[in-house]
């Protein structure tokens, strides 16, 4: 509210609000001042967008990435790796070293091979 009274807008301010039924909802607020013809702030306007689904999807992605990281970091008996479009290995596990008996080395561009 202080921002609006000072004439400043605030965008995508994430907060939790309470619905009329008492349940909580995650929202992103956009708040802007309304000025009169002399430029004085006479009111404020606000829009609230429900971001519950967005936050749930973001958390699901974070959990999925964490699970994948755990699988890759703990895969010692298998070779798991990814390559770029030129076929160069960009990331991988220690599995290839364990399978082949050769130590891991760094390529010229500092990516794991």
What mean pLDDT comes out for the span 30-45? 92
pLDDT tens readout for residues 72-102: 778 777 777 788 999 888 877 766 555 556 5
Domains of the chain with CATH codes: 2-50 (3.30.450.20), 64-100 (no CATH)
pTM: 0.57
Q: Are the CB atoms for 31 and 45 separated by under 8 Å?
A: yes
Query: Of 16-20, 29-33, 34-38, 76-80, where does mean pLDDT reach its minimum?
Result: 76-80
Provide the pLDDT for residue 3: 75
- What would the mean pLDDT of 26-37 be, rounded to a whole number? 94
- What stretches of 1-113 adopt beta strand conformation (E)? 10-18, 24-35, 41-50, 81-83, 89-92
CA torsion sign for 72, 88, 99, 79 is positive
């Amino acid at each position: 509210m202080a921002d609006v009274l000072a004439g400043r807008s605030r965008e995508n301010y994430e907060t939790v609000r309470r619905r009329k039924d008492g349940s909580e909802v995650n929202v992103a607020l956009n708040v802007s001042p309304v000025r009169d013809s002399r430029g004085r702030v006479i009111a404020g306007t606000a829009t609230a967008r429900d971001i519950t689904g967005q936050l749930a999807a973001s958390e699901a992605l974070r959990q999925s990435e964490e699970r994948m990281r755990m699988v890759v970091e703990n895969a010692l008996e298998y070779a798991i790796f990814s390559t770029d479009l030129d076929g160069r290995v960009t990331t991988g596990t220690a599995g290839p070293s364990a399978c082949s008996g050769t130590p891991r080395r760094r390529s010229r561009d500092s990516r794991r091979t």
